[in-house]
Amino acid sequence: MSQSHSLPAVFSQLDVSAGSSSHRATSAGGDQTELLRDVLAAQDRTNELLEELVAVMATTHKQRSQELHQWRSANPRLSESCRQAAEVLSRVQVDYLDRMTDEINESAEELVDAEFVLNEFVDRFGPRLAHLNGVIQVLSQLSSTPNAASQADPA
């Protein structure tokens, strides 16, 4: 029984003569060198873009810090009220997290085994926690006591 269909070539011919091997090695080395130069050029361009991005972000951060400093200076009483409110809400947040973690620990198996219980838990605690965090963050930024990062960056 003879098979007449052709198989795709898995191996190609290899020229092992002395004259052609040095030419191929030089050509392959040149291709690799050119490829490495291309990679290096792409990496240099990436570095340039990252430096520009860092510069833009630093400028934006510095401008935002200056604006917050100006706002705090223009509204010292409100800034102090924001600080006090942020401290109160931070204590509320700690109490809320304490109650939430107690409930997690008490119903750990149900949370793992029952998707409905997990969904109910997330629906009950998730949005409130997210909103509370957002409000605390805003009040903290507007408060009269800048955070350590702002103090390190003079406005």
Q: Tokens 């085994």 sit at which residue?
A: 113
- Asked whether residue 36 carries a pLDDT value surpassing 70, the answer given is yes
Half-sphere exposure of 148 (CA within 13 A, CB side): 0
Q: What confidence tier does 86 reach under pLDDT thresholds 50, 70, 90?
A: very high
Average pLDDT over residues 77-106: 94
Q: Is 9 helix (H, G, I), strand (E, B) or coil?
A: coil
Chain position carrying tokens 């490495």: 36
Give burial (CB, 10 Å; 0-12/13-18/19+) of 155: middle
Confidence of residue 113 (pLDDT cuts 50, 70, 90): confident
SS3 65: helix
Number of other CB atoms surrounding residue 11 within 10 Å: 5
Q: What are φ and ψ of residue 6, in 5° steps?
A: -95, 140
Q: How far apart are the first and last CA of the chain?
A: 89
Least confident segment among 21-30, 97-106, 135-144: 21-30
SS3 content of the chain, % helix, strand, coil (to 5): 80, 0, 20
Give 72's contacts (C-beta < 8 A, 6+ positions apart): 79, 142, 143, 144, 146
CB 86 within 8 A of CB 140: yes
Chain-wide mean pLDDT for the chain? 83
